[in-house]
Amino acid sequence: MTDGDQHVLIIDDEAQIRQFIRAGMELGGYRVSEAANGNDALREITLHPIDLVILDLALPDIDGSELLERIRAWSGVPVIILSVRAGETEKVKLLELGADDYVVKPFSPRELVARINVILRRTAPPGADAKMSSGALALGGLTVDPPQHLAQFNGEDLTLTAIEFEILKTLLARPSVVFSREQIMAAAYQMNIQVSDRTIDSHIRNIRAKLSAAGCDNAIDTVHGVGFRLGRCESRA
């Protein structure tokens, strides 16, 4: 059970499905809001603090993948995709767009709550004025605080998805080690989800882009034929 402060938004155009999911979430101790279409969902995310989004792909006004892209343009809120489509291509596409998990219908509320618990344990946001805890990791201008799920470069917060945060934390925990894509996959996807090398490369590109926007162009080095390791994490000259 949670403390009831974590807020989940369910986005699905079918009221029966929303009620089914809501029942499981409330039994798990979560506060729940609902949206029947993409525009209502965007309004809800904009106006209220949301800790996690459950997004069905089949919406009447905005395609689910497009809605995910819109959310990812300005928010790192964790997103779990719901879909009747179980193909690997579809899963990889959504994970590359920034989804944190992918659940195929039909599913059990217990499984969904378990997946949410795993993600939210990693993504509980600190307060805006939070200080780094004693468990923080640092190199150059980069600091990652796993207990508080806080990542910063030169003191400025980085907006990372849950998967991006796990990858960066893994690299920073052992900065001299070159990690293969398989090792990164195992560290980042804790629900035994199998994704392609292309998906890992996409996450690495996203992390590099976010750190570059913060002033760091040497965050992650590619070791050709092997994998990736953390770079110097220094500000650009």
Alpha-carbon span 35 to 14, nearest angstrom: 10
The model's pTM is 0.58
**The pair of three-digit structure tokens given for residue 139, joined into one six-digit string:** 């190199």
Alpha-carbon span 162 to 113, nearest angstrom: 16
Alpha-carbon span 211 to 112, nearest angstrom: 32
Report CA-CA distances (Å) from 192 to 29, 41, 156, 202. 25, 29, 32, 19
Domains and CATH numbers, the chain: 7-123 (3.40.50.2300), 137-230 (1.10.10.10)
Greater pLDDT, 37 or 235: 37
Continuous segment of H or E residues that includes residue 119: helix 109-123
Confidence band of 124 (pLDDT split at 50, 70, 90): low
Alpha-carbon span 122 to 116, nearest angstrom: 10
User: pLDDT by residue (tens digit) across 71-108?
Assistant: 888 788 899 999 888 778 888 888 888 888 898 888 88
Q: For residues 136 and 144, is the Cβ–Cβ distance under 8 A? A: yes
